[in-house]
C-alpha cells in the first residue's frame, strides 16, 4: 500500500483521499472480521451426534469441560492432568489432543465404537509414570476418524470392520477413555505441540451431547 502511494502524484492522492480512506477503512474492517471469526471458533465443528453411540457408559465420574473440570476439585490448580481438550501437558509445550472420559465403572469399562467403521491402527499409546502401557485404537468412521486411547491391550487388528456400538476395548487402570477426533480421511493420530494439528477436532460438544443428552448447557 505504501509503495503504491509513493508512486502516485500528490494531486491524485488528494483528489482521491476520500476514496482511499474508504478503501483503507474497509481493509481494516475485513481484517478485524476475519480475526474475530477465527478467534470465536478456533476449532472446527465436531461431528453430528444424531446417529452416534456414546463410546463409554455415562454419565462420567468427572466433568471434562475446561471450566467444570477446573472447578470440580478432582485436580489441583496447575495440574497437567486436566481432562479437557487443549489442557497443558508436560513437557510444557504439549497440549491435550482429546478429552478424558471417566466412566462410572472405572477400570475394565467397555469402550464402544461410536459408529460403524474400519480399524486403521492399533498401537501403544502412552506409558504411564507407574509403568503401565496403554493402547490406542484408531478407527475410520467415514465422516470422521476417532482414536480410542488409554485402553488395556486390545484384541482388535488393523483392517477389521466394526459395527456401531461394538465393544472395541476396555478402559485401563487410568480409569479413563482418552478420546481424540479427526476430520474425515485422517489416517494417523497426532501429538499436539504448539499449533493445534490441522485435522484435529474438539470432541467436547459431541461428547457432552452423547454422555449427558438433552439440556446439557448447564454442565458445559
Q: Which of 139, 144, 215 is nearest to 182 (CA)?
A: 144
Shorter beta-carbon distance to Zn ion: residue 98 or 117: 98
- Closest approach, Cβ 192 to Zn ion, in A, equals 11
Residue in the shown chain whose Cβ atom is closest to Zn ion: 178
Total site size for Zn ion, rule CB under 5 A? 2
H helix intervals, the chain? 2-6, 10-15, 17-40, 66-71, 204-212
Q: How far apart are the two ends of the chain, measured CA to CA in Å?
A: 45
Task: Give the separation between CA 11 and CA 147, rounded to whole angstroms.
Answer: 64
- Closest approach, Cβ 178 to Zn ion, in A, equals 3
Which grid cell is 28? 481494516
Is residue 152 a contact residue for Zn ion (CB under 5 A)? Answer: no
Which residues, 6 or more positions from 162, have their beta carbon under 8 angstroms from its beta carbon?
113, 116, 117, 118, 119, 139, 156, 168
Among 178, 196, 199, 205, binds Zn ion (CB under 5 A): 178
Length of the chain (residues): 220
Is residue 100 a contact residue for Zn ion (CB under 5 A)? Answer: yes
Shorter beta-carbon distance to Zn ion: residue 157 or 191: 191
Q: Which of 155, 194, 197 is nearest to 180 (CA)?
A: 197
- Closest approach, Cβ 100 to Zn ion, in A, equals 4
Shorter beta-carbon distance to Zn ion: residue 174 or 186: 174
**Range in contact with Zn ion (rule: CB under 5 A) among 5-13, 17-25, 100-108, 191-199:** 100-108
- Closest approach, Cβ 137 to Zn ion, in A, equals 14
Is residue 175 a contact residue for Zn ion (CB under 5 A)? Answer: no
Where along the sequence are the contacts to Zn ion (CB under 5 A)? 100, 178
Amino acid at each position: 500500500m505504501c509503495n503504491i502511494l509513493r508512486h502516485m502524484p500528490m494531486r491524485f492522492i488528494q483528489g482521491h483521499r476520500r476514496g482511499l480512506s474508504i478503501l483503507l477503512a474497509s481493509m481494516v474492517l475485513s481484517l478485524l472480521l476475519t480475526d474475530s471469526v477465527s478467534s470465536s471458533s478456533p476449532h472446527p465443528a465436531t461431528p453430528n451426534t444424531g446417529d452416534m453411540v456414546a463410546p463409554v457408559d455415562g454419565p462420567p465420574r468427572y466433568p471434562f469441560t475446561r471450566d467444570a473440570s477446573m472447578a470440580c476439585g478432582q485436580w489441583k490448580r496447575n495440574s497437567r492432568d486436566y481432562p479437557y481438550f487443549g489442557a497443558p501437558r508436560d513437557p510444557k509445550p504439549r497440549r491435550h489432543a482429546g478429552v478424558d472420559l471417566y466412566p462410572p465403572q472405572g477400570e475394565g469399562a467397555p469402550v464402544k465404537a461410536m459408529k460403524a467403521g474400519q480399524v486403521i491402527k492399533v498401537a501403544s499409546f502412552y506409558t504411564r509414570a507407574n509403568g503401565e502401557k496403554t493402547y490406542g485404537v484408531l478407527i475410520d468412521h467415514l465422516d470422521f476418524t476417532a482414536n480410542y486411547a488409554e485402553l488395556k491391550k486390545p484384541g482388535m487388528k488393523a483392517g477389521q470392520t466394526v459395527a456401531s456400538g461394538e465393544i472395541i476395548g476396555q478402559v485401563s487402570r487410568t480409569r479413563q477413555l482418552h478420546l481424540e477426533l479427526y476430520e474425515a480421511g485422517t489416517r494417523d493420530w497426532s501429538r499436539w505441540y504448539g499449533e493445534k494439528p490441522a485435522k484435529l477436532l474438539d470432541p467436547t460438544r459431541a461428547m457432552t451431547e452423547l454422555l449427558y443428552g438433552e439440556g446439557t448447557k448447564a454442565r458445559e
